[in-house]
């Protein structure tokens, strides 16, 4: 029997490439639509090294109705995982129109194309940023939208549009997954996060300091009302968020917060390297602390995070150490095809509590 095909928009990116690994392990064939504006096609070759299956890559824009129609016509797609988008908060404040264009108009073009084709099962990659910074933690899914930047507002608007669509037409099945802070890398060390340019986010920055590629980490503020004064976030392993099941509206986090200094300590333990750091001023727009109430995803479809911060750091370091130049580094010879890594996270996208491996 042929593996059902899943269209993964943005599938060459950080979360998308790990999602491809999880989808293949669960018996699906990913078809990736990506402009590669923030990713590298070689990430999909690494997916092939891990799984033995290279996802189909269609280089195209999610805003392009013709390209979308072609993809749906060429591949018998059963469902869509939508990750294509822009995600840098600072950039969204400087250039909001691009964010509304790619994130909002891109999703509109996608659902219109899906409707034309009759594919009405969609998993949308949302973000904890839809909650803004006024919610007490742990944050529950029923908290109101209060995004404080254009990036977050595009995510909230897309969620509202999709909720209206699902209410208007019962044929649609839509899940909005609100990722908290996905970090880590595939445990093989073959796949990980490789941002273009200097990393904005904490984990890739720490990894590059550990590797000697940057001198020190600037801690953005140590005067917050938190355990050690530094910002607290709910870091969740990328291979946990890649294990995406069912149809839902849910937070994907661990339910636990970790401060910047706690992440630094965990990374030092994992890498055996000292992370030089300097305390800098607060970063504009940063919330002091937030983490997920992660019970909803467990109750709704049996998902919960399995990997702790130590494993997130160990996997990030394995990836960084083995690939100091990202995808420019050749995949290790032993990884060419076989033996394949057993992905112990594999699960059906329709898994229910009790069927989960957790
Ligand atoms: P990423 O930048 O690595 O992946 C996004 C992918 O989309 C990239 O491969 C990029 O080339 C592609 N893309 C961008 N514009 C496109 C377009 N117009 N058409 C087709 N492809 C396009 O980012 P990621 O961390 O993997 O995030 C994936 C999704 O998850 C994003 O929608 C992001 O907003 C969301 N998200 C990420 C995080 C996080 O911390 N990484 C947190 C919450 C939500
Ligand atoms: C931000 C966005 C989130 C987005 C994510 C990935 C908000 C509120 N959150 O998360 O929506 O999905 O980026 O793009 O907009 N830090 C340092 N030094 C650094 C980098 C970060 O101290 O060099 C600190 C930050 O101040 C913060 C923590 O580390 O306390 C995590 O920062 P980061 O990894 O950038 O993620 P968020 O800002 O939480």
22: closest CA among 335, 315, 239? 239
- For the stretch 227-246, pLDDT in tens is 999 999 999 999 888 765 33
Please give the distance of CA 229 from its chain centroid, rounded to a whole number.
Answer: 27
Summarised one tens digit per residue, pLDDT across range 41-75 is 999 999 999 999 999 999 999 999 999 999 999 99
Q: What is the DSSP letter of 272?
A: S
What's the 279 CA to ligand 2 centre distance in angstroms?
15
Atom from ligand 2 closest to the CA of residue 132: 8
The ligand minimizing its distance to the Cα of 13 is 1
* Closest atom of ligand 1 relative to the 12 alpha carbon: 9
By 3-state DSSP, what share of the chain in percent is helix, strand and coil, each rounded to 5? 40, 15, 45
Please write the tens of the pLDDT for every residue from 86-133: 998 889 999 999 999 999 999 999 999 999 999 999 999 999 999 988
CA distance 102 to 104: 6
CA angle 96, 102, 105 (to 5 degrees): 100
- CA-CA-CA-CA dihedral for 244, 246, 249, 251, to nearest 10: -30
pLDDT digits (tens, 9 = 90+) for 237-272: 998 887 653 346 789 999 999 999 999 999 999 999
Find out whether 279 and 219 touch, Cβ atoms under 8 Å. Answer: yes
The yes-or-no answer on residue 224 being catalytic is no
87 Cβ closer than 6 Å to some ligand 1 atom: yes
DSSP secondary-structure letter at 52? S
In DSSP notation, 40-91 reads -THHHHHHHHHHS-PPEEEE--TT-HHHHHHHHHHS-EEEEEE--S---HHH
Is the C-alpha dihedral spanning 347, 192, 141, 83 positive or negative? negative
- Per-residue confidence (pLDDT) for residue 272, from 0 to 100: 97
Q: Where are the beta strands (DSSP E) in 185-313?
A: 217-220, 232-233, 235-237, 249-252, 258-259, 277-280
Cβ atoms of 49 and 74 within 8 Å: the answer is: no
pLDDT confidence tier of residue 334, bands split at 50, 70 and 90 = low
pLDDT at 245: 39
- Is the CB–ligand 1 distance for residue 62 below 6 Å? yes
Instruction: Identify how many contiguous H helices and E strands the chain contains and give both numbers.
Output: 12, 13
Confidence category of residue 322, pLDDT binned at 50, 70, 90:
very high
Confidence of residue 345 (pLDDT cuts 50, 70, 90): very low
Check whether 144 has a pLDDT greater than 80: yes
Ligand 2 centroid to residue 68 C-alpha, Å: 32
Pocket flag, ligand 1, residue 38 (CB < 6 Å):
yes
Average pLDDT on 291-305 reads: 90
Decide whether any atom of ligand 1 lies within 6 Å of the 189 Cβ: no
Average pLDDT over residues 351-355: 28
In this prediction, residues 177-194 reach a mean pLDDT of 94
- Residue 250 sits at φ, ψ, to 5 deg, of -150, 150
Is the pLDDT at 161 greater than 90? The verdict is yes
> Sorting pLDDT into bands at 50, 70 and 90, what band is 284?
confident
What's the pLDDT score for residue 357? 26
- Predicted confidence band of residue 135 (pLDDT cuts 50, 70, 90): confident
Per-residue confidence (pLDDT) for residue 338, from 0 to 100: 39
Q: Are 43 and 87 in contact (CB under 8 A)?
A: no
Beta pairing class for 232-233 and 258-259: antiparallel
Q: Across residues 342-357, what is the average pLDDT?
A: 29
Count the neighbouring beta carbons within 10 Å of the beta carbon of residue 94: 10
For range 147-173, the mean pLDDT? 93
The response to whether residue 220 sits with its C-beta less than 6 Å from ligand 2 reads yes
Under DSSP, the state recorded for 105 is I
Ligand 1 atom at shortest distance from the alpha carbon of 151: 34
Q: Using only the alpha carbons of the chain, give its radius of gyration.
A: 19
Does the C-beta of 152 come closer than 6 Å to ligand 1?
no
Sign of the Cα torsion 116, 119, 120, 123 reads negative
Backbone angles phi, psi at 290, to 5 degrees: -160, 150
Q: What is the mean pLDDT of the chain?
A: 89
Distance, in Å, from the CA atom of 257 to the CA atom of 228, rounded to the nearest integer, reads 12
For a ligand 2 pocket test, name from 150, 200, 236, 261 the mutation site with the most ligand atoms within 8 angstroms of its C-beta: 200
Model confidence pLDDT, tens digit, residues 68-93? 999 999 999 999 999 999 998 889 99
3-class state of residue 229 by DSSP? coil
pLDDT of residue 299: 87
Closest ligand to residue 180's CA:
1
Residue in 224, 236, 286, 316 to alter for ligand 2 test, most ligand atoms within 8 A of Cβ: 286
Among the bound ligands, the one closest to the CA of 207 = 2
Distance of CA 28 to the CA centre of its chain: 19
């Amino acid at each position: 029997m042929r593996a059902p095909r899943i269209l993964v928009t943005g599938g060459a990116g950080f979360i998308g490439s790990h999602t491809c690994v999880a989808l293949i392990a669960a018996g699906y064939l990913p078809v990736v639509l990506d402009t590669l504006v923030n990713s590298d096609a070689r990430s999909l070759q690494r997916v092939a090294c891990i799984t033995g299956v290279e996802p189909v890559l269609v280089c195209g824009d999610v805003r392009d109705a013709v390209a979308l129609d072609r993809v749906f016509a060429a591949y018998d797609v059963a469902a869509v995982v939508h990750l294509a988008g822009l995600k840098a908060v600072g950039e969204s404040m400087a250039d909001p129109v691009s964010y509304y264009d790619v994130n909002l108009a891109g999703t509109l073009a996608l659902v219109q194309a899906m409707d034309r084709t009759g594919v009405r099962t969609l998993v949308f990659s949302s973000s904890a940023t839809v909650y803004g910074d006024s919610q007490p933690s742990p944050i529950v899914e029923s908290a109101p939208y209060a995004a404080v930047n254009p990036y977050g507002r595009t995510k909230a608007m897309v969620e509202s549009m999709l909720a209206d669509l699902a209410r208007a037409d019962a044929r649609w099945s839509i899940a909005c997954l609100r990722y908290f802070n996905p970090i880590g890398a595939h445990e093989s060390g073959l796949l990980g996060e490789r941002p273009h340019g200097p990393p904005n986010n904490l984990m890739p920055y720490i990894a590059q300091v550990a590797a000697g590629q940057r001198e020190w980490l600037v801690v953005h503020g140590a005067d917050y009302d938190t355990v050690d004064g530094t910002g607290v976030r709910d870091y969740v392993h990328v291979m946990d968020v890649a294990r995406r099941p069912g149809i839902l509206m849910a937070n994907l986090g661990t339910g636990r917060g970790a401060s910047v200094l706690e992440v630094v300590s965990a990374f030092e333990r994992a890498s055996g390297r000292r992370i030089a750091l300097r305390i800098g001023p607060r970063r504009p727009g940063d919330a002091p602390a937030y983490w997920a109430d992660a019970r909803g995803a467990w109750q709704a479809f049996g998902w919960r995070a399995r990997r702790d911060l130590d494993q997130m750091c160990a996997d990030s370091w394995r990836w960084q150490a083995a690939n100091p130049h990202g995808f420019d580094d050749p995949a290790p010879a032993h990884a060419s095809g076989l033996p394949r890594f057993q992905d112990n996270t594999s699960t059906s996208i329709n898994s229910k509590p009790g069927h989960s491996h957790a």
